Structure 1
Amino acid sequence: MNDSIFNKAVAASKWSALAEISSKVISPLIFVILARLLTPNDYGVVAVAAIVISFSQVFWDVGLGKALIQREDQVEESANVVFWTNLVLGILIYVILYFSAEGIASLFKSTESIPVLRVQGIQIVLASLCSVQTALYQRDLNFRTLFWVRLITSALPGLASIPIAIMGYGYWALVGGTLLGSLAQLLVLWKASSWRPRLSYDRDLARQLLGFGLWVMAEGLLAWFYVWVDSMIVGAYLGPNDLGLYRTGNSFVQMVFGLILSPLMPVLFSMFSRIQHDIDLLRKGLLVVSKLITMIALPSGIGLLLVADPLADVLLGAKWIGVAQVIGILGLTNGISWLVGANAEVYRAMGRPDLNTKIMFSTLAVYTLAYIWAAPQGLTVFLWTRLGVIFIAIPVHLFVVKKYLRISPFNFMIDSRWIFIGCAFMAGAVWVIGISTEYMLDIVKLTICIISGILIFSLFLLPEKEFVKRIVTFATRGV
C-alpha cells in the first residue's frame, strides 16, 4: 500500500483520537462511579426512556439535518425550514410520548419508567431546538466548536448525576444529568452560533428538503433497529433489571472498543476514497487495515471474555451480579465483529454505500427472529445467541469483498495467521492462570491475567515485527 497515503491516514487518526478523548476518557470514569452508586434496575428504568427517545429522534429529525448539510444553495432559508419543522415535530412527538408513557412502560414491565418517560422526554424538544446549529457547524466543517460542545456536554451530565445519586435519588440522577447535558448543549450552541430563526416558512423548499430527508430517515430507522432492537427485546421479555445489566455491560464494552478503534474509523473513508480507482491498492489497503484491526480487536474481545468476572467485581462491585457474563460474551462478540469493521468504509469509497445497507437489511430480520426466540429463555441464552448471529453477517461481508475486490478469505487468514495463533495461545494461558489465581484478590487476579495475556500475545507477534514496526513508525511520526 502507498506509504504516504497510509501515513497521512494514521496521522489524521491521531487528531481524531484527540477529538474523541474528551468523551472517551471522561465517560468511563463517570460510568464507573455512577454504576457503584446505582443499581441495575435504575439503569434499566432509564434505558426504557433512552430506547424510546432515540427512536423518536428518527421521526422529529426526518433526515433534515443531513439535508441541510448537503445543501449548496438557499442555506439560510433551508435552515429556517429545518428549524420550524423539527421544533413542531419535536413538540408533537413529546406530547404523544407523554400520553402514551403508561402503555410504553407496561410493554417493558416497568411502571417506574412512566414518570421518567414524561420528564426525560423533554430532551426531545431541547434537541430539536439546536439541531440546525449542529448541522450548520458540520456543514461548515467547524468541528472545533463541536469539539468544545462535546467536551462540555460529556462532562456535565455525569458531574451533575453523581451528587444526585449520592443523595439517594436513584435513577433520577441519570435523568437529571441527561437533561442538564441537553440543556447545556442547547445554550452553548445558541451562544456560539450567530444563526437565528425567522418567522417564515418556505413550503416549496420544505418539500425539496423532505424529499431528501425521508430517504435519510428510512436509513436512520434501519440503523436504529440495528442498534436498539436487542435492548428493546431484552427489556420487553426480561424486564428492567436484566435490561439494566445488558445495557450497562454493553455500554462498557462499547467504551472499550470505542477508545481503541473508533479514532481510526473517520479516517478510513477518506483514505479509501483517494485510492478507489486503483483496485490493487484498495485491496492491499483493506488487507493492511483489517490486519491492524484484527491485531487489536480480537485479543481485546477474547481478553474481556476471560477476565470479565474480576473486572466486573473491581469496577462495578457486588450488586452487579450477572453483568460479568454480559461484558465477557459481548466483548468477544465485538472482537469478532470488528474483523470486518473496515468493510463498510471500503464499500462507500467504491461508490457502493448500498452494499452495507443491503447487508444490514438482509441480516436484521434474522437477528430479530433469533433474539425473539432467545430472550424468553433468559439473559444467558440471549447473549450466546447474540454472539452466534454475527457468524451470519461475516460470511456475507467476505463474499462481497471477494466478488468486488477479489480478496479471498484465505488471503486474510494467511496474512493474519500469527494473530490467530497468538490469540489461541493467549486464551489458553490466561484461562489456566485464571484458575490458578482463583483465590487471590480480584484486583491481583485481574492484573496478573492482563499482563500475562499481553506478554504472551506479544511473543506471537515477533514474526510480524516488520508490520508492527511500520505501524508504530506511522503512528509516532510527526503530524
Structure 2
Amino acid sequence: MSQTVDQSVDPLDRTVELDRTVEIKAPEHQPEREEAPRKRLKSAIFWSYALTAGRLGTTTIVTFVLASMLGPHAFGVVATALLFVMITQMLLQQTLLTTIIQREQLDEDHLDAGFWVVIGGSLGLTGLAAGAAPLWAWFNDQPEITWICIALTPMILLQGLTVVPEAILRRKMTFRPLAIRTLIATAIGGVVGIALAFAGFQAWALVAQQLVTGVIGAIVLWTVTDWRPRWRFPRQAWRDLRGFSAQSALGGIGVFLAIRIDLLVLAKWFGPVAVGLYRIAQRLPDMLTEVTSRSLQQVSLPELARLQREPDVLADRLAKMLHVSAVVGLPALGILAADAKPLVALLGPEWSPAGVGMQLLCIVGAVNVYGVLLGPALQAVGRVGINTALAWIQLAVGIATFYVIGQLLNGSADDRKQVAAIALGMAGLEFTITVVMAYITFNRVLKVSSWRVVRPTMPALFASLLGFGITWSVDRFGLVDGPWTLKFVIYGVLATAISGGVLLALDRRLSGMVMGKIRPLLKKA
C-alpha cells in the first residue's frame, strides 16, 4: 500500500491567490477550457517520468558501484541507521505536503504557517533523534550505528526545509524543477559516495552520500522556487490546515512503518548482513515501481483533487492512470524477476543470497503497481481516514507476521532463507491489504466495479507472468550454460521479447496507440 507521500511554469506570484492554479469548479467545462488541464497533465507526467527515470539511472549506477565495493555489511549498517531517521522525515513530509496539494483554497498565510510549523518540528525532531540514537543502536544490538544515526540526523532538518516549496511545485504540477533538483542532487551525492568508498571509508561513504544529496537537493529546490516565507505566523491559517495535516501525518507514519516493518525485523533478529542483502533485493523492484508507477502517483493527487467534485470523471481518470501504471510497470517487474539471480551474482558472490529475495519482492512491486494510486485517490476526495486506518491495520498484522518469522528463523545462518522468508511475508501482506483497499476505494467510495477498473490491466499482468515463467523454466532446467554475464543477457532478452510481444498482442489500447504512432511514419516513408 502506498501513499503520496517534477516543466516549468510561470514563477509563483506572491501577490495572487495560489488556489487559482487548481481551483475546482462545478462541471461547466467547455472543450477549450479543458485543453489547458490536459496539456498540463501530459506535461506533468512527462517530467514526472523524467524525474524518476533520472533518479533511477543515477541511483542504480551508484548503488551497484558501492555495493560491489562495500559489501552487504556496510549497506546493512547504514540501512538500519537510515530507517531510524526516515521515520521522522516521513512525519514531516506527510504533515503538510499532502494538505497543501489537496486543499482547494490556499493562500500565502497557509504557506507561511505551514513552513514555520515544519521548521520548528524539524529542529525539535533533530535533537530528539540525536538523543535517541543510542537507544536505537541498543534495540538492534548494533553499537556501531550510534554515531552513524547521529551523523544522519541533519537530514531531518533538510527534509523540513523542502516540504513547503516542494508541495507548491507539486500542487501546480510543475515537475521540471523537481526533476532537475533530483538529478543534480543524486549525481553529486553519488560521486561523493563513490570517491569516499575508494578512499576506504566503508559505511561512512554511504552516510556522506546521503547528506550531500540532501544538502544539494535543498539548495537547488530553493533556487528554482520563487516563494519565500514571511516572518509571521498566521494562527487562523494553521487552524485551517492542522486537522487534515494530523490525519495525513498519522496515515503517512502508518504507511511508512507498514512498508518498513520487514527491515525492522531483519535489523532486530538477523543483523546487518541480512539487512544489506535485503536492501539490494528490495532496491531494484522499488526503483522500477518508482520509475514506472510512482511517476504517475506524483501527478495523480493534484490531478484527481481537481476532479474531487466529479466522482464519475475521477473514477474514469483513475482507471486510465491505473492502466498506464500496469502497462509500464508489470512487464518491467517480470523482466527484473527473470534476471534477478544473474543480476545480483554480477555484484559478487557475497550478494548471491539476495537473488530469490529479489524475485519475491518483484511481487511486492507488482502489487504496488495497483496500490500506488489508491492512496492519492482517497486523499483527493478527502477520505484520508480510510488510508490511515488501513495503514495501521497493515502495521499491526505485519508486526505479528514478521515477529513469527523472526522467531522461527532466529539463529539461522542461512542468509538466503532469512531474506526469502521476509520477502515472502511482505508479498503476502501487501497483496492482502491492497485487495481490501482497492475494494473500498472503487466499490465503496467511488461506487464503481473493481473488475471494471482492473480488467484492462490483465494483458499486462499475463505478459509479465509469461515472460518470467518461461525464463524461470529455462533457468530451472539448466538450458543455458555459461557465466552469469551470459545468463543475464539471455534471460533479459528472452523475458523482454516474450512480455513485449504478448502485451502488444493482447492489449488493444496499447496496440492501437502504437499503431496510431506508426501509421503516419509509414505514410511519410
With structure 1 as the length reference, what TM-score do the two structures score? 0.83
Question: 1:298–1:332: 8 Å Cα contact kept in structure 2?
Answer: no
- Any idea what the Cα deviations from partners look like across 1:253-276, whole Å, max 9, x if unmatched? 111222223333344456666777
Partner of 2:472: 431
Partner of 1:152: 184
Partner of 2:492: 450
Partner of 1:180: 212
Residue 72 of structure 2 is aligned with which of 40, 51, 59?
40
Tell me: CA distance 1:453–1:354, structure 2 relative to 1, closer, same or farther (3 Å).
Answer: same
DSSP-derived class of the 2:349 partner: coil
Partner of 1:373: 404
- Any idea what the Cα deviations from partners look like across 1:234-258, whole Å, max 9, x if unmatched? 2122222211222222122111222
Shift, 1:427, TM fit: 3.7
Question: 2:288–2:333: 8 Å Cα contact kept in structure 1?
Answer: no
Question: 2:141–2:268: 8 Å Cα contact kept in structure 1?
Answer: yes
Shift, 1:204, TM fit: 6.1
Q: Which has the larger displacement, 163-172 or 95-104?
A: 95-104
Partner of 1:13: 45
Tell me: CA distance 1:162–1:277, structure 2 relative to 1, closer, same or farther (3 Å).
Answer: same
Q: Given residue 375 of structure 1, which amino acid in structure 2 is its aligned partner?
A: G
Residue 222 of structure 1 is aligned with which of 223, 247, 254?
254
Shift, 1:164, TM fit: 0.2
Q: Are 2:508 and 1:466 equivalent residues in the alignment?
A: yes
Structure 1, unpaired ranges of 5+: none
* Equivalence map 1:58-77=2 (5 Å): 58=90, 63-64=95-96, 70=103, 75=108
Q: Are 2:433 and 1:393 equivalent residues in the alignment?
A: yes
Separation in 1, partners of 2:375, 2:313: 17
Separation in 1, partners of 2:154, 2:243: 28
- Any idea what the Cα deviations from partners look like across 1:329-379, whole Å, max 9, x if unmatched? 101221244245444454455564544444334333222321222133233
Tell me: CA distance 1:101–1:475, structure 2 relative to 1, closer, same or farther (3 Å).
Answer: farther
Q: Given residue 262 of structure 1, which amino acid in structure 2 is its aligned partner?
A: R
Q: Given residue 428 of structure 2, which amino acid in structure 1 is its aligned partner?
A: G
- Any idea what the Cα deviations from partners look like across 1:114-169, whole Å, max 9, x if unmatched? 11011111222344345454455556665444333223212111111110000110
Q: Are 2:203 and 1:171 equivalent residues in the alignment?
A: yes
Partner of 1:331: 362
DSSP-derived class of the 2:352 partner: coil
* Equivalence map 1:208-287=2 (5 Å): 209-269=241-301
Separation in 1, partners of 2:503, 2:104: 48
Separation in 2, partners of 1:397, 1:58: 21
Separation in 2, partners of 1:102, 1:428: 46
Q: Are 2:464 and 1:440 equivalent residues in the alignment?
A: no
Tell me: CA distance 1:293–1:164, structure 2 relative to 1, closer, same or farther (3 Å).
Answer: same
Question: 1:153–1:182: 8 Å Cα contact kept in structure 2?
Answer: yes
Structure 2, unpaired ranges of 5+: 1-30, 410-417, 521-525
Question: 2:250–2:388: 8 Å Cα contact kept in structure 1?
Answer: no
Tell me: CA distance 1:260–1:399, structure 2 relative to 1, closer, same or farther (3 Å).
Answer: closer
Give aligned-pair identity as a percent. 21
Separation in 2, partners of 1:359, 1:281: 25
Tell me: CA distance 1:471–1:226, structure 2 relative to 1, closer, same or farther (3 Å).
Answer: farther
Separation in 1, partners of 2:496, 2:71: 32
Q: Given residue 319 of structure 1, which amino acid in structure 2 is its aligned partner?
A: E
Shift, 1:188, TM fit: 3.5
Partner of 1:89: 121
Tell me: CA distance 1:262–1:206, structure 2 relative to 1, closer, same or farther (3 Å).
Answer: closer
Shift, 1:199, TM fit: 5.9
Question: 1:102–1:114: 8 Å Cα contact kept in structure 2?
Answer: yes
Q: Which has the larger displacement, 162-171 or 388-397?
A: 388-397
- Any idea what the Cα deviations from partners look like across 1:375-413, whole Å, max 9, x if unmatched? 33233322211122233224324533345544254x578
Q: Given residue 430 of structure 1, which amino acid in structure 2 is its aligned partner?
A: T
Question: 1:149–1:185: 8 Å Cα contact kept in structure 2?
Answer: yes
Separation in 1, partners of 2:391, 2:373: 15
Separation in 1, partners of 2:106, 2:464: 53
Separation in 2, partners of 1:206, 1:284: 34
Q: Given residue 47 of structure 1, which amino acid in structure 2 is its aligned partner?
A: A
Partner of 1:161: 193
| RMSD between superposed Cα atoms in Å | 3.8
Separation in 1, partners of 2:382, 2:236: 30
Separation in 2, partners of 1:366, 1:331: 21
Separation in 1, partners of 2:314, 2:241: 35
Equivalenced residues, count:
473
Q: Given residue 450 of structure 1, which amino acid in structure 2 is its aligned partner?
A: G
Tell me: CA distance 1:368–1:72, structure 2 relative to 1, closer, same or farther (3 Å).
Answer: same
Shift, 1:310, TM fit: 0.4
Separation in 1, partners of 2:162, 2:304: 33
Question: 1:62–1:210: 8 Å Cα contact kept in structure 2?
Answer: no
DSSP-derived class of the 1:38 partner: helix
Tell me: CA distance 1:444–1:366, structure 2 relative to 1, closer, same or farther (3 Å).
Answer: same
Tell me: CA distance 1:285–1:118, structure 2 relative to 1, closer, same or farther (3 Å).
Answer: closer
Q: Which has the larger displacement, 257-266 or 354-363?
A: 354-363
Tell me: CA distance 1:200–1:163, structure 2 relative to 1, closer, same or farther (3 Å).
Answer: same
Shift, 1:327, TM fit: 1.3
Tell me: CA distance 1:199–1:115, structure 2 relative to 1, closer, same or farther (3 Å).
Answer: same
* Equivalence map 1:407-418=2 (5 Å): 407=449, 409=451, 418=459
Question: 1:375–1:381: 8 Å Cα contact kept in structure 2?
Answer: no
Residue 59 of structure 2 is aligned with which of 27, 31, 54?
27
